[in-house]
Amino acid sequence: MKRNIGKIDRILRMTIAALLVLLVLSNRIIELPAIAAVVISILLFLTGLYGFSPIYSVLKLSTKK
């Protein structure tokens, strides 16, 4: 698994994931959209943590310099 996500991309993904979780925990997002927000935040966090995006691989993209 070769990293294909650069540092800025990783920071943005993890920041957005944290913000989504905070919105859910503060009840700004409720019910079905809250579930979707949590799933998206988990995916963003994991791709940011590992520095690898399967979608980038399929599309032959990389933000890593």
Cα separation of 37 and 42, whole Å? 9
In a domain, 27, yes or no: yes
In a domain, 25, yes or no: yes
DSSP state of 28: S
60: left (phi over 0), alpha (psi -120 to 50) or beta: left
Residues sharing a CB contact under 8 Å with residue 7, sequence separation 6 or more, in sequence order? none
Q: What is the domain count for the chain?
A: 1
In a domain, 1, yes or no: no
Per the structure, the complete domain to which residue 13 belongs is given by 7-58
pLDDT tens-place string over residues 32-62: 999 999 999 999 999 999 999 999 999 999 9
pLDDT tens-place string over residues 2-36: 999 999 999 999 999 999 999 999 999 999 999 99
In a domain, 31, yes or no: yes
**Token representation of residue 57:** 């691989």
Closest CA to 21 of 1, 55, 3, 45: 45
Q: How many residues does the chain have?
A: 65
